[in-house]
Amino acid sequence: GAVVSQHPSRVICKSGTSVKIECRSLDFQATTMFWYRQFPKQSLMLMATSNEGSKATYEQGVEKDKFLINHASLTLSTLTVTSAHPEDSSFYICSATFSGGAAFTYEQYFGPGTRLTVT
Amino acid sequence: LAKTTQPISMDSYEGQEVNITCSHNNIATNDYITWYQQFPSQGPRFIIQGYKTKVTNEVASLFIPADRKSSTLSLPRVSLSDTAVYYCLVGEGSGNTGKLIFGQGTTLQVKP
């Protein structure tokens, strides 16, 4: 259980175009979804936190107008990279979470990632 | 959020037990300690989570001392397929954001 999917797994786009990446929780309702970016040989960098029906909360230094996040339902969040440039080329990973049974336990379930290449 | 510190890399051989220690001196009362494994070009995979003392599952054990300022992930009898990056994270519990901040992780190289 607790499977998260991402689509597409790979995408190549031209500079200046926009790309949408979908993140779905397949067998649970995700109260919160997170978006990360990972450059080669580096760790994951949290970009934003989104709750269903609310505006996303972006981490410092992440342009909210460039990385549009929509969390329209408890099973779907989308990340749109607008006016993509080569420096936006990266591995984008989403995760989803829900409150566990105990008071303070939770776990994030990660998607398989989306490799974005901007030419 | 509590910052974590772990060794950048470790080497081991097949069949050995591997222990990776993580420091989190500023861990908060609400924080759980979670370890993830990541293979290249894949999303992280949950390994184990704990709050205090010892937790064991089918793939690993997690040892947490009473002061909770560190934790040790123990992988019994590693194989080549355990070569990966291992991340130690401390995160806010339910009722908060559940946000996780990844450190640099430990790259484990298992040799034949």
pLDDT at B68: 95
Question: What is the spatial distance between Cα A79 and Cα A7, in angstroms, rounded to a whole number?
Answer: 11
CB-based contact, A48 to chain B, within 8 Å: no
Q: Report whether pLDDT(B94) > 50.
A: no
Q: What is the pLDDT of residue A29?
A: 85
Is A91 in Cβ contact with B44 (below 8 Å)? no
Question: What was the pLDDT predicted at B95?
Answer: 44
**A60 vs B: CB within 8 A:** no
CB–CB of A110 and B99 under 8 A?
Answer: no
Q: Where are the beta strands (DSSP E) in chain B?
A: 9-13, 18-23, 32-38, 45-50, 53-56, 61-64, 70-75, 84-91, 106-111
**Which of A33, A52, A54, A108 is best to mutate for the B interface (most B CBs within 10 A)?**
A108
Q: B15-28 pLDDT, tens per residue?
A: 999 999 999 998 98
Q: What is the pLDDT at residue A104?
A: 43
Please tell me the distance from the alpha carbon of residue B64 to that of residue A2, in angstroms, as a whole number.
Answer: 26
pLDDT of residue A55: 87
Instruction: Tell me if B93 and A104 make a contact (CB, 8 A cut-off).
Output: yes
Contact B102 A107 (CB under 8 A): no
| Chain B touched by A45 (CB under 8 Å) | yes
Q: Name the DSSP letter for residue B80.
A: G
Question: Which residues does chain A have with pLDDT short of 50?
Answer: 101-104
Distance, in angstroms, between B85 CA and closest chain A CA?
9
Whole-number Cα distances in Å, B8 to A53, A73, B36, B49, B51 = 39, 38, 15, 21, 24
